[in-house]
Amino acid sequence: MTIDRDRFMKDGYMIVRNAIPADKLEAVRSAYEVLVDLQKGIWAADRGESDPPEGVWATSAQPRLNLETMANLVDERSAMAIEAWLNPNIHGLSSTLLGVPDAAVTQMMLMCSPVKDHGPALWHRDMYPPYCAPLGGYIEDILEGGPRYIQWNIPLYDDDVLWVVPGSHIRVNSEEEDASIRSDPRVPLSGSIQTNLKAGDGVVYILPILHWGSNYTPLLRRCIHGGFSTFSQYEDLSFLNHLSDNTQAAFSRWDLRSEEMKEHTESALRAFMAGNKDGYFTALERLHPGRGDRGRALSTVFLSKTSKRIHSLKQPEFHTLPEQEQGWAERPHPGTLQWGRAFAARFSTAEAQRLWERFQQVDSLVQSSEPQYAPGFQGANSIYNFIGMPLTEAILAAV
Ligand SMILES: [Fe+2]
């Protein structure tokens, strides 16, 4: 197939016919169904006192399997669920679109239909700027150096749930979009398109594109969901034994890269702490080769959050922080250079204090004096900027 990367960069999405070839579709469906049954068992066992017997399966608008938490359950019957990600139309194409020799599967999930009608969800971008960086920073980074991460939906049955707004990954919302989302976030936006995917087709898109889950009905839905960057985020690789040699080798390569990224993140933080500009920029180059100043500024905002979370994790009163904040600190999110609790252990309490003091200048640059809100994000009001990114020079001067 011909790949129009320029068009992908401009539109922010691309429909890929037969991402999973027709002759493999049935095998991939069966493999995922094995995992669905296993996950349904887990949800039933973990249900709350007031939940129905099926737990999440019965209550969620979009019951979602996360293969990261199911790694030890994969066997030869479900191995195709993972092998599918290595298909050339998915893995090879992702490498081309990211402009790297060997893109890595970062996340693997499956979105399922609910048992009862839940109707449309809300238009949104897959981000909450107070916990990562302002939208403007993402846009500048993509325009300068291309996407760091691309996300896929690959339905195993015909699926027209997803809508996107072409081009919205490299611009902020228009006034019309803001007004529409404020008045009713569950109706089509002007200029949006429905993806209308046939079984086995895929849509690959650049976050933070504006998108919409238009209708969550009980019509059978099994949509592979996840994405690629240059590393994977799998701590548990116990599924490897059941995979082909090629796939095993790929996951091992990607895992090694993730470990290297942790090293580079630590080097960047230590260099920043020591006021070692050269060391800091060298570490950033190793984390994301070839990025310019806009990319360095975005990474610096991500690292300010990393330092804040490491500092939080070291506090005796950590458990008194808002639950959401605890969750963000505990949970790795490598795409924004967050590596969770185990990574924080690399720093002493005194180092964490010094690190956070050093990063406060950057942190204050992405704040306003008043709590604010912008339509189309995943979260509530915050003093952190949703849209406006500080000047690149101001951020880099803080290094
Ligand atoms: Fe989303």
Query: Cβ distance 187 to 160 under 8 Å?
Result: no
Find the 214 Cα to ligand 1 centroid distance in Å. 11
| pLDDT of 48 over the 90 cut | yes
Q: Give the pLDDT score at 380.
A: 85
Find the 210 Cα to ligand 1 centroid distance in Å. 8
Q: Give the pLDDT score at 3.
A: 87
- Mean pLDDT, residues 367-374 taken together: 92
**Sole residue written with tokens 């990562």:** 132
| pLDDT of 1 over the 80 cut | no
- 4-26 exposure pattern, b = at least 16 Cβ within 10 A, e = fewer: eeeebbebbbbbbebbbeeeebe
Find the 209 Cα to ligand 1 centroid distance in Å. 9
- Two tokens at 22? 């027709």
- Two tokens at 377? 């994000």
- Two tokens at 168? 């919205």
Find the 212 Cα to ligand 1 centroid distance in Å. 7
SS3 3: coil
Find the 378 Cα to ligand 1 centroid distance in Å. 9
- Mean pLDDT, residues 239-251 taken together: 95
Q: Give the pLDDT score at 151.
A: 98
Sheet holding 193-194, edge to edge: 193-194, 162-164, 211-213
Find the 150 Cα to ligand 1 centroid distance in Å. 12
Find the 30 Cα to ligand 1 centroid distance in Å. 26
The 10 Å Cβ neighbour count of residue 96 is 13
- Mean pLDDT, residues 350-379 taken together: 94
Q: DSSP state, 259?
A: H
Q: Give the pLDDT score at 104.
A: 97
Quick one: pLDDT band at residue 326, thresholds 50, 70, 90?
very high
Q: Give the pLDDT score at 356.
A: 97
Q: Give the pLDDT score at 379.
A: 82
Find the 304 Cα to ligand 1 centroid distance in Å. 25
Query: Cβ distance 391 to 296 under 8 Å?
Result: no
**Least confidently predicted of 53-67, 241-255, 320-334:** 320-334
The closest alpha carbon to 198, from 153, 234, 263, 261, belongs to 153
- Two tokens at 203? 């849509």
User: How far apart are alpha carbons 184 and 186 in whole angstroms?
Assistant: 5
The closest alpha carbon to 37, from 112, 116, 118, belongs to 112
Find the 369 Cα to ligand 1 centroid distance in Å. 29
| pLDDT of 319 over the 90 cut | yes
The closest alpha carbon to 84, from 209, 285, 224, belongs to 224
Find the 127 Cα to ligand 1 centroid distance in Å. 8
| pLDDT of 378 over the 90 cut | no
Find the 283 Cα to ligand 1 centroid distance in Å. 31
| pLDDT of 246 over the 90 cut | yes
| pLDDT of 338 over the 90 cut | yes
CATH number of 5-252: 2.60.120.620
Find the 11 Cα to ligand 1 centroid distance in Å. 17
**Least confidently predicted of 252-266, 275-289, 343-357, 376-390:** 376-390
Find the 148 Cα to ligand 1 centroid distance in Å. 17
Please name every residue paired with 19 in a beta bridge, in sequence order, or none if there are none: none
Find the 126 Cα to ligand 1 centroid distance in Å. 5
Q: Give the pLDDT score at 131.
A: 93
Find the 323 Cα to ligand 1 centroid distance in Å. 22
| pLDDT of 301 over the 90 cut | yes
Q: Give the pLDDT score at 50.
A: 94
The closest alpha carbon to 366, from 380, 381, 384, 382, belongs to 384
Q: Give the pLDDT score at 208.
A: 95
User: How far apart are alpha carbons 184 and 167 in whole angstroms?
Assistant: 21
Give pLDDT tens digits for 176-226: 999 999 999 999 999 999 999 999 999 999 999 999 999 999 999 999 999
Find the 377 Cα to ligand 1 centroid distance in Å. 10
Residue intervals of the chain classified under CATH 2.60.120.620 are 5-252
Q: Mean pLDDT, the chain, as a whole number?
A: 96
275: buried, middle or exposed (CB in 10 Å: 19+, 13-18, 0-12)?
A: exposed
- Mean pLDDT, residues 114-128 taken together: 96
The closest alpha carbon to 68, from 201, 202, 258, 217, belongs to 258
- Mean pLDDT, residues 308-322 taken together: 95
SS3 16: strand
Quick one: pLDDT band at residue 233, thresholds 50, 70, 90?
confident
Find the 201 Cα to ligand 1 centroid distance in Å. 18
The closest alpha carbon to 72, from 28, 106, 42, 104, belongs to 42
Handedness of CA 131, 135, 140, 144 (dihedral sign): positive
Give the environment of ion ligand 1: residues with CB less than 5 A.
Answer: 126
- Mean pLDDT, residues 309-318 taken together: 95
User: How far apart are alpha carbons 5 and 197 in whole angstroms?
Assistant: 20
- Mean pLDDT, residues 136-159 taken together: 97
| pLDDT of 359 over the 90 cut | yes
Check whether the bond before 166 is cis (ω within 30° of 0): no
Quick one: pLDDT band at residue 308, thresholds 50, 70, 90?
very high
| pLDDT of 316 over the 90 cut | yes
